[in-house]
Chains A and B, each alone.
Chain A
Amino acid sequence: MKKLNRRSFLKGGLAGGATIVAVGTSKQALAGTHNFGGYPDSMGVLVDLTKCVGCRTCEAACNKEQGLPTPDKPFDDLSVFEEKREGGLPRRTSEKAYTVVQKYDVEGREHPLFRKVQCNHCNEPACLTSCFVNAYKKTPEGAVIYDKTVCVGCRTCMIACPFYIPAYSYSSAINPVVKKCIMCYDTRLKFGRPPACVESCPQEVMTFGKRTDLLKLAHQRISEKPDKYVDQVYGETEVGGTAWMYMSDVPFDKIGYDNHLGTQPIISYVKEFLAMVPMVLTIWPALFTGFHLLSNRKDALKNDDNKS
């Protein structure tokens, strides 16, 4: 029964038609807050940050695979690492780049550390749960994909993603949509092949495999070299777990990872509200109609008094 998870559950709810949806929203939403925990056989990628040399081959591979526009600077131009976006922050994913490599100079580390950023393909994605047209979908293979033909452009998913991943094609007036890494779902993952970036990497920084196997592998590596790695696999538990996971030799919060995200999926923070929706829907009508009767009775009594 685990297979009948939230997503199929929601679809079932939709059949109920618009009128029921308008009122019945809450109950389905509520059911949706039970932890889903991810598909058992979903795939993932383990990224060993210690091995990355910052060659940007993966960025180039992604650009080609996804048919993205040619960037201003070629992929062998390493000056992009010094580029700063607003707030002195490193470059981030954009409508033209679904993955970017960032450089961190860490005190006490011989070489700078490079970090590849892309969608983490969460088990319980915030983007998915916040989208009001249900554009997102977590596939059994583990990818979080989206249907750009229904995206309205409210950009709530961008607000919700704790990793600041989804971008938006603001430049388009006619058909702006959300843009992010889809783990090469259409062209590769669907057929069991690893994403383009993973395959392209000359340093074998990334390992593609079943998420559960990858976790075992990561912990095995850490226990084999406890002096090298910090004892944390980032993404194992963060916001309910992610398909992309990371190993590092410096603490994660020193290299731009948010270590305060907690282990609960983002939707769990919304559940207080979702829980009160059915209460309001059921209690309010009775309550207020009651008030009305009461106050009118007073009037009626008053009128009687006046008459007598």
Chain B
Amino acid sequence: MNSLKSQGFAPVVSDLKKDGSEWTVKEKIMLGLSPKEYWAVQRRNPFNWVLWVIYAVGLPILVGRFIFGLGWVTHSSYDYPWGLFLGWGLFVMVPLSASGFMMGTTVELFGRKDFKPIERLGLLNGLLGYLFAVMFLQVDLGQPWRLIYPMFVSLGPAAVLFLVAWHVATYLSCQVAELVPAFSEWMGFPKAKKFIKSMVLGLTVAGIILSTLHQGALGALFTYAPGKVHPLWYSSPFQWFHFFVSAVFAGLSMLIVVSTLTKWFMRWRCDENYLNNLSKLTLGLAKGASLALITYLVTKIIGIAHDNNWAYLLTGWGAWYMFEIVVGVLLPLTFYTMAVRNSNASLARFAAFLAVFGIALNRLNTALITFNWQLYQEIPHWREVVIVITVYSTYIVVYRAVLARMPILYTWKEKK
């Protein structure tokens, strides 16, 4: 598409075509191309070929999961009841999607309108991340059709997961509402947008509360297993805080990563306002992320000191822990700080990639790798891995499809 644009193709940016007539929904879905052109473009994209391969292998296995049960796609472990579906799909996806509430807070609450060009990307990143976390949950739950049981059928309000379930559900609706403006512009329903505008402050505050609580709750889930998670990754009093603070820089870093990817691969869809502001905004995000990183680092150290876990640092697990902290926290912190000082957006982008990697590693370490550290190491079943790749690819496909159409990376030109 980038090359198409350089040949003079102009993507849809308003209700009206150049000649003054209205785009139909179908035309909008086809990105303003004729069907033939549209499919030709899709076929030319090598990334789509990779997707085809993934789906060819992954879809049958995903279907098999629901026909033959979890036992067919996992090792059916009683000792490791949570595998990659939750380890990756819930514990990694959710912190990386914290960008939604961060951007809402910055723009709507603190009135930093200068972050506006990237606000919607932050919101979308949040919404899709949560949506697919729920998808992963649905793959993992033994009886996905009972998903609403904790809400309406049999309630266990004293359980941390109960809070997660309610909050993620409520927060998802919040995020949908927050993105209604983008959708309504694209579809041409100005009323919906007005309606949401009137309650944006409430939605944002609700978003902060729900996010603080459920990001922390994901950490608190592990406090049910005090002896099972390795002490270096576990801290009864601080676990929820570690998860919450790390979600802050995880969400910001993910936003930098995604915006970088859009800049590279979807440049055709970005408008001047977005592209020209991106470097400046990246540095703004970097600043926020570095503050969260330093807070995280300090509380991690306090956590170790509190339980007097220093001795573990000298073991093999300690070396692994140091690797996570150095690559996933210290280096991004250093690079972010340098980037902000020297106004070097590329360095901030590099730091963001590291931080995202660090968070993924941290969550996988807590949920899987160091879990049951005194028993044995569980290697996920290959089918489990294939399903994770398939669902994650779907996340990317949906993400890309929305970005290509709705006014996320560009500003919609309203009818006069």
Contact = CB atoms under 8 A, between A and B. Distances in A.
9 contacts: A87-B376, A130-B161, A132-B165, A134-B155, A170-B142, A273-B240, A280-B209, A292-B109, A292-B110
B160 interface: yes
Interface in A15-30: 18, 21-22, 24-26, 28-29
A267 B150 CA distance: 19
B224 A126 contact: yes
A289 interface: yes
Q: Which of A28, A133, A153, A266 has the most chain B CB within a 10 Å cutoff? A: A133
B237 A129 contact: no
A205 interface: no
Given A21-B155, A150-B149, A295-B109, A159 B225 contact: yes
Interface string A285-308: 100110110011011000000000
Contacts, number: 219
A289 B239 CA distance: 27
B93 interface: no
A171 B143 contact: no
Interface stretch (B74-82, B266-274, B284-292): B74-82
B156 A170 contact: no
A285 B143 contact: no
Interface residues of B, number: 71
Given A272-B240, A284-B209, A291-B110, A150 B81 contact: no
Nearest to A131: B156
Given A132-B159, A150-B153, A289 B141 contact: no
A29 B76 CA distance: 31
A156 B221 contact: yes
Contact of B79 (A22, A156, A164): A164
Interface in A223-243: none
Given A134-B156, A170-B76, A277-B163, A152 B213 contact: no
Contacts of A21: 155, 157, 166
Given A89-B375, A160-B224, A171 B69 contact: yes
Given A132-B159, A147-B154, A295 B111 contact: yes
Interface string A202-235: 0000000000000000000000000000000000
Given A170-B74, A272-B237, A28 B157 contact: yes
Interface string A130-166: 1111110000000000010011111110111010101
Interface stretch (A56-64, A66-74, A172-180, A244-252): A172-180
A295 B111 CA distance: 6
B111 A292 contact: yes
B81 A168 contact: yes
Interface string B138-177: 0011110011011111111111111111100010000000
A106 interface: no
Interface of B: 66-71, 74, 76-79, 81-82, 105, 108-112, 140-143, 146-147, 149-166, 170, 201, 204-205, 208-209, 212-213, 216-217, 219-221, 223-228, 236-240, 375-378
Interface of A: 6, 10, 13-14, 18, 21-22, 24-26, 28-29, 32, 86-89, 92-94, 126, 129-135, 147, 150-156, 158-160, 162, 164, 166-168, 170-177, 258, 260-262, 266-267, 269-270, 272-274, 276-277, 280-281, 284-285, 288-289, 291-292, 295-296, 298-299
B226 A266 contact: yes
Given A150-B149, A176-B70, A158 B78 contact: yes
Interchain residue pairs A-B with the least CB separation, the first 9: A153-B142, A87-B376, A173-B69, A134-B156, A273-B220, A155-B81, A170-B76, A170-B71, A158-B81
Contacts of B152: 18
A133 B223 contact: no
Contacts of A164: 78-79
A153 B156 contact: no
Given A133-B154, A273-B240, A274-B160, 16 more contacts: A18-B151, A18-B155, A22-B170, A86-B376, A132-B165, A153-B141, A153-B146, A159-B225, A160-B225, A162-B225, A171-B76, A267-B158, A272-B240, A288-B205, A292-B109, A295-B110
